[in-house]
Structure 1
Amino acid sequence: MQPNESRFKQLQAVIFDWSGTLVDFGSLAPTQIFVDAFASFDIPLSLEQARGPMGLSKKAHIRQLLAQPEIGAQWQIRFGRAWEEADVSALYERFMPMQIEKVGDYCAPIEGAADVLALLHGAGVKVGGCTGYPREVLDVLLPLAAAQGLEADHVVAGDELAAGGRPGPWMALANVLALRIGRVSACIKVDDTVPGIEEGRNAGMWSVGLSVSGNEVGLSASAWQALDASRQTGLRAAAEKRLYGAGAHFVIDTVADLPGVLAEIDRRLAIGERP
């Protein structure tokens, strides 16, 4: 496709999450670091517990974990008192250097991601991004991703808006402002988490969920491929149910399946449909 040729007549922007959406199949990096950060305070955390609030900004994620009765009770036993806001900050300060150190180990593009971004760039559709990662982590991740063909026109970090993060619309709308998009209804939000889908809906965008590559299944690509077909079907169905329940207009396995959805949304926009 030539750079000035557009196969999309209506779409103006697609705004992507990162971990579990464009990179890090299974959204493994933030999950494991939450486990490690809590373990450093002698609080055991399962991977399933760590995944629960995924999609929120990292400090909000920690707060949600501590608010869970089982984890809060462990904190009470370990420290002889209920957790406080200062403990959220202490865990966050422990989490951050761990995440910065390890994010490069989990930056491999999800299959098809670079091709989809190239398609959008070539069609003149703006590519935005937003994430629960703080800016310090993005400053490490984005150059590594760019070297592998993943470049966005603008990316908003989870800690840089005073209004807050997901499931509010602010990061998605900050992309709209930065990219000078004329119609929010001509934008698509692509995400693998429930708060990320809610973010897109709250912003007035089309929302596309990713069931297999991200947080809802939570397996590496090799672990997913090693499952038998019946187990894959069950995990996929459960993930789809949660994402559709959050308001997703479409749910697909991975970003590699996105081009067909882009064409369908472009068609619906052309006949006057809105998200």
Structure 2
Amino acid sequence: MSYRYQRRYCGPLQAVILDWAGTVVDFGSFAPTQVLIDAFAGFDIEVTMEEARVPMGLAKWDHIQALGRLPTVAARWQARFGRAMQTEDVDALYARFMPLQLERVGQYSALIPGALECIAQLRSRGLKVGTCSGYPRQVMDRLLPIAAAAGYQPDCTVAADDLPAGGRPGPWMALENVVRLGISDVAACVKVDDTVPGIAEGLAAGMWTVGLSASGNEVGLTHAQWQALSEGERKARRLPAAEKLYQAGAHYVIDSIAELPTVIERIEERLAAGERP
């Protein structure tokens, strides 16, 4: 007779792992999208904001490659250059993208309303705050002091090119946070993100996942634009964004990080009851 030992983590949450643009800073996630549009424009290729948002959440080299493979963008590239986009073209676009992103990331990096209050509540519960991003390390090194000056200093930050395994939708950046923060079980972590690859990352790492609809890439409005909408207009924008994140596997979807503390309480109740992500 054989026995299988099954252990379920029933302790408290230990960490929240947050994305950056569209999650804690840059309501509407404009820094990466607008710069990508401008990088392609440097090659005489028009890319719309809607197209630029499709692969959001991937590491930026991968994002450029995926954007170039969209049928509409691929057709424009073929018409302009007489061939499909090649790896060396992605390299050239990335080389154009990087200095623009470094120059402009600060312009779009205001903290999302309620972020600091949320972080304070998380810390008061004893939670560690980890982060990861589709941004490369060069951009994160520019963004971190800007965020610190605004009062946001996470315990850990992993950039898309920090790890040899790569970035999203794989679990590696989220798991690197687990290692660096000294977390005892992945079920004690909550991954918070506004993109489908970011939700996939959290699920692949075995974590609880929370999607952000209004503040992130899926709605794609500035905070002022969001506030100016009627409640009916917000609902019309929110529902398809939330559905997309739920379809990706998010355990919860909320408008913005400001609502996260309430969800944290619910997840801890589920953990105490023996549930796992």
TM-score, length basis structure 2: 0.95
Stretches of structure 1 that go unaligned for 5 or more consecutive residues are 1-8
Letter in 1 for 2:177: N
Three-state SS of the structure 1 residue aligned to 2:101 is: helix
Report the alpha carbon displacement of residue 167 of structure 1 after superposing the two structures with TM.
0.8
Stretches of structure 2 that go unaligned for 5 or more consecutive residues are 1-10
Report the alpha carbon displacement of residue 228 of structure 1 after superposing the two structures with TM.
2.1
Report the equivalent of 2:236: 234
TM-score, length basis structure 1: 0.95
Letter in 1 for 2:251: H
Letter in 1 for 2:91: S
The answer to whether the 8 A contact 1:176-1:184 is kept is yes
Report the equivalent of 1:116: 118
Report the equivalent of 1:27: 29
| Total equivalences in the alignment | 267
Report the equivalent of 2:7: none
The answer to whether the 8 A contact 1:117-1:151 is kept is no
Report the equivalent of 1:102: 104
- For residues 140-170 of structure 1, the C-alpha deviation after alignment (integer angstroms, 9 at most, x for no partner) is 1011101111111101001111111111101
The runs of 4+ residues in structure 1 deviating greater than 6 Å are none
Three-state SS of the structure 2 residue aligned to 1:173 is: helix
Report the alpha carbon displacement of residue 227 of structure 1 after superposing the two structures with TM.
1.6
Three-state SS of the structure 2 residue aligned to 1:219 is: coil
Report the equivalent of 1:59: 61
Report the alpha carbon displacement of residue 124 of structure 1 after superposing the two structures with TM.
2.1
- For residues 111-162 of structure 1, the C-alpha deviation after alignment (integer angstroms, 9 at most, x for no partner) is 1111111222233211100000010000010111011111111010011111
The answer to whether the 8 A contact 1:189-1:205 is kept is yes
Three-state SS of the structure 1 residue aligned to 2:173 is: helix
Report the equivalent of 1:220: 222
CA distance in 2, matches of 1:156, 1:92: 20
Report the equivalent of 1:4: none
CA distance in 1, matches of 2:231, 2:116: 27
Report the equivalent of 2:95: 93
CA distance in 2, matches of 1:210, 1:196: 11
The answer to whether the 8 A contact 1:217-1:236 is kept is yes
Report the equivalent of 2:129: 127
The answer to whether the 8 A contact 1:53-1:61 is kept is yes
The answer to whether the 8 A contact 2:122-2:261 is kept is no
CA distance in 2, matches of 1:199, 1:179: 17
Report the alpha carbon displacement of residue 204 of structure 1 after superposing the two structures with TM.
0.3
- For residues 144-198 of structure 1, the C-alpha deviation after alignment (integer angstroms, 9 at most, x for no partner) is 1011111111010011111111111010001001111001001000000011011
The answer to whether the 8 A contact 1:19-1:27 is kept is yes
Report the equivalent of 2:140: 138
Report the equivalent of 2:176: 174
Letter in 2 for 1:154: C
Mean CA deviation greater in 13-22 or 147-156: 147-156
